[in-house]
Copies of this chain bind each other. A is one copy, B any other.
Amino acid sequence: MPPPTAPAVILSHPQLGENIGAAVRAMANFGLSDLRLINPRCGWPNEKARAMAAGAGGLIDATRVFASLEEAAADLNLVFATTARERGITKEVITPAEAGRRLRRAAAGEKTALLFGNERAGLDNDEISLCDCVITIPTAEFASLNLGQAVLLVSYEWFKQADATPPAQLEHGPVQRKPTRAELIAMFEHLERELTQSGFLYPPDKRPGMVRAIRATLHRARLTYQEVQTLRGMIVALAKGKHRVRKT
């Protein structure tokens, strides 16, 4: 089954070209490309939108303008309205993450969209009555998000639902090889030999516990082969220096 098409973004009566440009940029960041404007008050095409969109100008060229939500949404199967206001109407309210999951579950060929109101007043109740449900972005007490930020967060959650980036990974430099166990043990023994000679691993009955603690610290660093070589060079340099100091 082909993956579902990215949702369209519909901006209802946006006021400022800069905000449309910020929305376009956010869409491009997360793989959305179908922008539809309902009666933009700033006029269209708009140079401020293009400047703010920076490298995402292609989306600006492809943007379509409509006279009403009925027209903008005519070909769409699923439309979610993004709004922060309470409305006194019994409607399902979902989080951006849940919206991302539902949009990803849309059947092949189904067209979906995210609807955003304008900067001053948001969406009105008639517009919301044409949508399947409402997305509300959870925030702290200071809930005022601008238009570009709202588009960014909802687009991000859509992208994230299909993103396979592992939560944590080691990014390696040019030499990526992990040391073998023999190379690691040779480094441990080199360090412990020097620490014994310098009197650090003393008294002898404490030595095994101290050695285990040092080895645990070094294991936690998950060293590469190159880092093991560097550490052995540091041990040699420090031990040499110490001997020189003692001789003078």
| A contact set with B: CB distance below 8 Å | 25-26, 28-31, 54-56, 86-95, 97-98, 101, 133-134, 136, 138-140, 142-146, 148-149, 152-153, 156, 159-160, 163, 165-174, 224, 227
Contacts and interface: CB of A to CB of B under 8 A. Distances in A.
21 contacts: A29-B139, A29-B144, A29-B145, A30-B139, A54-B144, A55-B144, A90-B224, A91-B171, A92-B171, A93-B170, A93-B171, A95-B166, A95-B168, A101-B167, A136-B165, A138-B159, A138-B165, A148-B149, A149-B149, A152-B153, A153-B153
Copy tally for this chain in the complex stands at: 2
A54 B88 CA distance: 28
A202 to B, nearest CB: 32
A92 B169 contact: yes
Nearest to A102: B168
Nearest to A163: B138
A97 B167 contact: yes
**Most B CB within 10 A of own CB, among A28, A29, A54, A173:** A29
A213 B159 CA distance: 36
Contact of A167 (B25, B98, B160, B170): B98
Nearest to A32: B140
Given A54-B144, A153-B156, A87 B139 contact: no
Nearest to A6: B140
B88 A174 contact: yes
A93 B168 contact: yes
Contact of A142 (B28, B167, B170): B28
A148 to B, nearest CB: 8
A30 B78 CA distance: 29
Contact of A88 (B169, B170, B173): B173
